[in-house]
Chain A
Amino acid sequence: MTAATAPRFVRADGPDKVTGSGRYTADLTLTGMLAAKFRYAEIAHARIIRLDVSAARAMPGVFAVLTADDVPDVRFGPFVQDRTLFARDVVRYEGEVVAAVAAVNATVAQQAVDAIVVEYEPLPPITDLEAALAGDSLLVHEGWAAYGAGDPVVRDRNDASFSSITKGDVDAGFAEADHVVSSRYVADGCHAAPIEPRAVLAQWEGNKVTIWTSTQVPFDARAGVCETLEMPASRVRIIVPHLGGGFGGKCGFHYEAHIAALAKAAKRPVRLVFSRREEFFAPDRRREGMIIDVQTGVRSDGTITARKAWIAIDNGAYTTDAGFFSQLAAMHVSGPYKIPNVHIDSHLVYTNLQPSGSVRAPTAPQACWALESHTDEVAKAVGMDPVAFRKLNAVDTGDIGPSGQTYGEIGVQRCIDEATALVDYGQPLPDDEAIGVAIGWWPSFSVPSGAYLKIDGDGSAQIITGAQECGTGAVMTLRQLAADELGMNAEDFELVYQDTSVAPYDMGATGSQTLFNNGRAVVAAAGQVAEQLRSLAAEFLEAAPADIVLADGHAHVAGSPTSTVSIAELAGIAAGGELLIGHGSGAPPAAPALVGSSCVGDLGMAAFVAPQFSCHAVRVRLDRDTGVVRVMEVGTAHDSGTIINEMGALGQVEGGVMMGIGQALTEGAQYDAEGHQRNTGLLEYKLQTCADSPVIRTTFVQIVTPNAGPRGAKGLAEAPNVATAAAISNAIAKLVGQPVRQLPMTAERVWKAMQS
């Protein structure tokens, strides 16, 4: 399937967004609304000696100034409870919130922020991953033995989450090898960089608070408010207006409680709107920098005998949802390969940098880039074509993966064939061009989710869902699933969504899970309404309910197309009796079993539910005078199970490829020695633009996957982001003669690699 042949897909939220009539959080205003501003640490590591907000509080127009003393003393965090809403005693990264102000307008609020007196005793900033892991390093969290944490968390000095995979006998495996290839790769941190900087607006009525916020995870945001402000869920309502992109950066709980607390103290609605600089440096959500040492043993015939790796991941100052990153990175450095002997140690390292968190396929693009660049080095060592080498060693249906999972029918081998064919791999190329190939994988996340569905008396229908749309189109596609269950058109359904007080729980736009899990819930809810319609139609048409077919907006008796009644008419009948209402959740698919490996620090990521596979093949052109690389053409093949909405799916792949090109070539957070990020604007932090986009062709390898999402679908939101940088790296390595071992592979780094 290519873009040219994909069916038409009209997004329900499209016209609002395109015409400007849609409202984003920053567009909302309430009577008496105040503006919020934060006082940030602006220093990476320091002890607070003095914090005096009295001058700020005394300023005209200032309604509230809050510090740690003004909110409940609660530590929070999904894996390690190492955070507080406001800094207490020690600041651990430059973007940590020390105090918050609500004032009549943003100018006065900023003046009040500037009037807050903070004196620090500077502490040495810990910014180097290897130094942080050394036994003599200063600790980022001196007292973290006393913090709450989940059971699998292994606490060891600055190691926030250690995870290992051990399978077979790695020493024996290396002894069998004819060649051993060792590589080191270093990935800089980078950002989700959504176009909408985040905004939060809170208003209290009595003891209840409504918070409009630009989050990808409204229920998670609600849980954070409840935990930190010590309130029950019934008194907190989270509403998300249109969301201006997220890419993972708006996953997690961030500033909703700060603004709710300000609004309560000020007795007025309060709105926070981030600047671009704040969006870059403040949130505890950045794509993690990594160091990857990987060693592979291989026989002369190309079979891999053993792999050993050591991984250090920059956690930043606080463990947000990054607790599982060490295990996820270990899986990605293992890769979707048949390797009998594996030992991987993976560390999530506390530093005094901005906290890391789930940005689209966390750890995967960096780990895949390192592993797949290394894989080309291994193939070169045995004189094999890198594609043939992958075909030989990649897992296939029935194989056992590196963590002991046995795969059902999977399409990784077909993905390799399809993606390479799309770019005519092997074609003669000019001497400044090359094609690089990489494979990747990603789990589907199996979690609870819920939805309601109703049809009103006039025949118009609503899906009321907890799911969150972050631009991927996944929520939009729910209409298609409901329509197919009910024999209606997708356009017949209005979506009511992004409001925690009207819909059942959903995990949010995270983990590629919306269609996978909420799709199941919507199908179940629609199924209940379909049963009601069949029963009504059976009575109306004098037939058995089992013989009623719902199609084209009508119910008819199977085999008798003329014996028919419209669904709208049935809805009118129902409006006078038992209403048409369905609800659904469905049981999340169970995780597959693991055999023959052991994992320390297991957070459930060693077994990939409904694993997605991909191959990206990229043709690049290198300007040999300057090191500037341009991506000319990308062929991708994705096994994401059944594709339900092909146009939406192609959009996901194209967006993932563009994000991957950015991470490969131009996007990297740059820090000075003191732990300050230096490129906190879109001029210096270079996203790819429309003008940079190459030709992207995609083939979906559609395998109806059991134990997956609706109709055998897997996730797709993150998978396209996994293998792009890796494929680009392999193309560059062919042109330069060696890999560029630091990500992003900027023109300057490519040029330097050419000089050496």
Chain B
Amino acid sequence: MTFTIATTLEDALAAMAAGARPVAGGSDLVVAARHGKAALPASIVAIDRLGDLARVTGTDDGVRIGALATHATLMLHPLIVDSYPGLADACALVGSPATRNVGTLGGNVMNSSPAMDTGAPLLALGARVELRTVDSTRVVPLAELWTGPGRNVAATDELCTAILVPAPTAAGGTRSSSAYVRLEYRRAMEIAVVGAGASITLAADGTVESLAIALTAVAPTIISVTGLDAFVGKPLDAAALTAVGEIASEQSSPISDLRAGDSYRRHCVGVMARRAAEAAARRAAGEIIGIPVNRAFGIGAAR
């Protein structure tokens, strides 16, 4: 086995071109190896010292989150908390303080688990990933990135260098926000049984201008809920929220496993989708709901 430490991005990309797999926090790679799920790659390049890849930068059309930004950084980052709170919600729920301090957003996204927490808010927000090789750079929407559990379209020599999240449209007095909620049986070291991320824009009159919801752990990848256009132009009142939950529930095809049975999961998909939409809408309407929503109001039996 070879293990090299990259000090520049070029070194890292060259190592990957030569067949190395990247490691940053190691919270997926090392744990999977220890548990016998997947052997450590024969060649590994450590990218954790590439400080440039840990930056979070506001851009003209949104935010550029370096792939090495940790969950602990993002859950507290003013730019994320203010404009993309759904992502902060998700980052704050990941694992434990230790996991959040070593685990990176790039690693989480590229690990491509259908149970990842950050995937649903990022998908609902329309995020894209930047993939680089020695001689190319491309940008792939998350909707096209994941192809199955642990699988994605990136070539083996492509390194995720950033996650690009578009800015919410703010034209004509609209207000936008987002939220992520998940079902959890305990309050740390938990993995999503089901979860939902919502991104919403409200028109000046309070009606829905756009609504996107993505679901965690109910399909081979994080999936988007379709058919939410029906809510555009209407207030997101209690009846509408119930309908949002029903639609999400219908579109999920969860399995029965150790964590939950399929009927309970399907029911909870609806609950989580409804709550994510409600929390996002309330935030868009100006209410301050702390990070994460799970701890902030009536969700997961925690007020």
Give the one of A625, A679, A751 with max B CB within 10 A.
Answer: A625
Task: Give the Cβ gap from A662 to chain B, nearest Cβ, in Å.
Answer: 9
Closest Cβ of chain A: how far from B103's Cβ, in Å? 15
Given A666-B185, A692-B186: A630 in contact with B258 (beta carbons within 8 A): no
A623 lies within 8 A of B300 (CB): yes
A387 at the interface (CB under 8 A from B): no
From A461-469, A488-496, A680-688, give the one contacting chain B: A680-688
Provide the residues of chain A in CB contact with B186, threshold 8 Å: 666, 686, 688-689, 691-692
CB distance from B189 to the nearest CB of A (A): 6
- List, in ascending order, chain B residues with CB within 8 A of A752's CB: 264
A334 at the interface (CB under 8 A from B): no
Interface centre among A432, A623, A686, A748 (most CB of B within 10 A): A748
Among B191, B260, B264, B298, residue most surrounded by chain A Cβ atoms (within 10 Å): B264
A748 close to B260 (CB less than 8 A): yes
* Residues of chain B from 92 to 117 with CB closer than 8 A to chain A in the complex: 96
Q: Assuming A623-B301, A751-B267, is B259 touching A665 (CB within 8 A)? A: no
- Quick one: which of A620-656 are within 8 Å of B by CB? 621-623, 625-626, 628-630
- Find out whether the CB atom of A689 lies under 8 angstroms from the CB atom of B259: no
Give every chain A residue within 8 A of B187 (Cβ-Cβ). 689, 691-692
B301 adjacent to A622 (CB under 8 Å): yes
In the complex, A691 Cα to B98 Cα: how many Å?
A: 14
Contact with B along A663-687 (1 / 0, CB 8 A): 0011000100000001101111010
| SS class, residues of chain B in contact with chain A | loop
Give complex CA distance A748, B263 in Å.
Answer: 10
Tell me whether B261 and A748 are in contact (CB under 8 A): yes
* Interface 0/1 of B173-195, CB less than 8 Å to A: 00000000001111111110000
Closest residue of chain B to A621 (Cβ to Cβ) is: B301
Residue in A621, A626, A683, A689 whose beta carbon sits within 8 Å of that of B183 in the complex: A626
| Nearest-CB residue, chain A, relative to B264 | A748
Name the distance in Å between A111's Cβ and chain B's nearest Cβ: 14
Chain B interface bracket (under 10, 10 to 19, 20 to 34, 35 or more): 20 to 34
Q: Are A690 and B264 in contact (CB under 8 A)?
A: no
B residues less than 8 Å from A747 (CB atoms) = 183, 185
Q: Within 8 Å CB of A623, what residues of B?
A: 298-301
CB of A746 closer than 8 Å to a CB of B: yes
Q: Tell me the minimal C-beta distance from A183 to chain B in angstroms.
A: 25
B303 at the interface (CB under 8 A from A): yes
Which residues of B have CB within 8 Å of A691? 186-188
Let me know if B268 is at the binding interface, CB within 8 A: yes
Interface contact A670-B185, CB-CB below 8 Å: no
Name the distance in Å between A81's Cβ and chain B's nearest Cβ: 36
With a CB–CB cut-off of 8 A, which chain B residues contact A683? 189, 191
Say yes or no: is B248 at the interface (Cβ < 8 Å to chain A): no
Cα separation A751 to B189 with both chains bound (whole Å)? 23
Whether the Cβ atoms of A628 and B301 lie closer than 8 Å is: yes
Inter-chain contact A630/B271, CB cutoff 8 Å: no
B185 contacts A678, C-beta separation under 8 Å = no
With contacts A626-B268, A626-B300 taken as known, whether A681 is within 8 angstroms of B183 at the C-beta atoms is no
B35, CB-defined interface residue at 8 Å: yes
In the complex, chain B residues whose CB is within 8 Å of the CB of A678: 258
Task: Give the residue name and chain of the A residue nearest to B186 (CB).
Answer: A692
Interface residues of A in 713-756 (CB under 8 A from B): 746-748, 751-752
Task: Tell me the complex Cα distance, A628–B259, Å.
Answer: 13
Identify which of B191, B261, B303 contacts A621 (C-beta below 8 A): B303
Which residues of chain B are within 8 angstroms of A748 by Cβ–Cβ distance? 260-261, 264
Complex: chain A residue closest to B96, CB-CB: A689
Known: A630-B301, A630-B302, A681-B35. A692 touches B268 (CB 8 A): no
CB distance from A622 to the nearest CB of B (A): 6
Shortest CB distance B75–A (Å): 15
> How does the 8 Å CB contact mask read for B267-303 relative to A, with 1 for contact and 0 for none?
1100100000000000000000000000000111111
Cβ–Cβ < 8 Å partners of B271 in chain A: 625-626
- Chain A residue numbers with a CB within 8 Å of B261 are 748
Structural contact, B298 and A689, CB atoms closer than 8 A: no
Complex Cα distance, B260 from A626, in Å, reads: 12
Nearest-CB distance from B94 to chain A (Å)?
13
Residues of chain A from 510 to 569 with CB closer than 8 A to chain B in the complex: none
Q: How far is the CB of B231 from chain A (nearest CB, A)?
A: 20
| Cβ-defined contact, A690 with B188, below 8 A | yes
Q: Complex formed: what's the CA distance from A689 to B185 in Å?
A: 11
B184 A679 Cβ-Cβ under 8 A: no
Q: Which residues of the other chain, B, contact A686 by a CB distance below 8 angstroms? A: 185-186, 190
Q: Which residues of A contact B184 (CB under 8 A)?
A: 628
Nearest CB of chain B from residue A678's CB, rounded to whole Å: 6
B 142-183 to A, binary, CB cutoff 8 A, 1 in contact else 0: 000000000000000000000000000000000000000001
Contacts of A751 in B (CB 8 A): 264, 267
Q: Which residues of A contact B96 (CB under 8 A)?
A: 689
Does B185 lie within 8 Å of A665, measured CB to CB? Answer: yes
- The minimal Cβ–Cβ distance linking B295 to chain A, given in whole angstroms, is 9
Which of A626, A691, A747, A752 gathers the greatest number of chain B CB atoms within 10 Å?
Answer: A626
A630 contacts B300, CB within 8 Å? yes
Q: A628-B184, A682-B189, A691-B187 are in contact. Are A670 and B258 (CB under 8 A)?
A: yes
With a cutoff of 8 Å between Cβ atoms, the chain A residues found around residue B268 in the complex are 626
Instruction: Evaluate whether A684 and B302 lie within 8 angstroms (CB atoms) in the complex, with A691-B188, A747-B185, A751-B267 already known.
Output: no
Least CB distance, B78 to chain A, in whole angstroms = 24
A622 contact set on B, CB distance < 8 A: 301
CA distance A630 to B271 in the complex (A): 18
Say whether A679 contacts B185, CB under 8 Å: no
Chain B residues contacting A670 (CB-CB under 8 Å) are 258
Q: State in angstroms the CA–CA spacing of A690 and B189 once bound together.
A: 10
A692 contacts across to B, CB distance below 8 A: 186-188
CB pair B264 A689 closer than 8 Å: no
Residues of A within 8 A of B302 (CB): 621, 630
Report the bound CA distance from A621 to B301 in whole Å: 6
- C-alpha spacing A679/B258, complex, angstroms: 7
Complex CA gap A432/B303 in Å reads 11
A334 to B98, CA, bound (A): 46
Contacts of A206-239 to chain B: CB distance below 8 A: none
What is the CA–CA distance of A621 and B271 in the complex, to the nearest angstrom? 17
List of B residues within 8 angstroms of A629 by Cβ: 301
Residue in chain B with minimal CB distance to A665: B185
Distance between A683 CB and nearest chain B CB, rounded to angstroms: 6
Question: For residue A688, which residue of chain B has the nearest CB?
Answer: B186
Complex CA–CA separation, A323 to B34 (angstroms): 37
Which residue among B184, B186, B190, B261 has the maximum number of chain A CB atoms within 10 Å of its CB? Answer: B186
Contacts of B189 in A (CB 8 A): 682-683, 689
B300 contact set on A, CB distance < 8 A: 623, 626, 628, 630
Segment 191-213 of B: residues with Cβ below 8 Å from A: 191
Cβ–Cβ contact A684 & B259, under 8 A: yes
Question: Cα distance A752–B302 when bound, in Å?
Answer: 20
Across the two chains, which residue of chain B brings its CB closest to A276? B35
With a cutoff of 8 Å between Cβ atoms, the chain A residues found around residue B299 in the complex are 623
Complex alpha-carbon distance, A692 and B190, angstroms: 11
State the A residues within 8 Å of B (CB). 432, 621-623, 625-626, 628-630, 665-666, 670, 678-679, 681-684, 686, 688-692, 746-748, 751-752
Q: List 23 A-B contacts (CB under 8 A).
A: A432-B301, A623-B301, A626-B268, A628-B183, A628-B185, A628-B300, A629-B301, A666-B186, A679-B258, A681-B35, A684-B258, A686-B186, A688-B186, A689-B187, A691-B186, A691-B187, A691-B188, A692-B187, A692-B188, A747-B185, A748-B261, A751-B267, A752-B264
Q: Which residues of B contact A (CB under 8 A)?
A: 35, 96, 183-191, 258-261, 264, 267-268, 271, 298-303
Given contacts A626-B183, A630-B301, 6 further A-B contacts (CB under 8 A): A621-B302, A626-B268, A683-B189, A683-B191, A688-B186, A689-B96
Q: What 4 A-B pairs come out closest when comparing CB atoms?
A: A623-B301, A691-B187, A630-B301, A691-B188
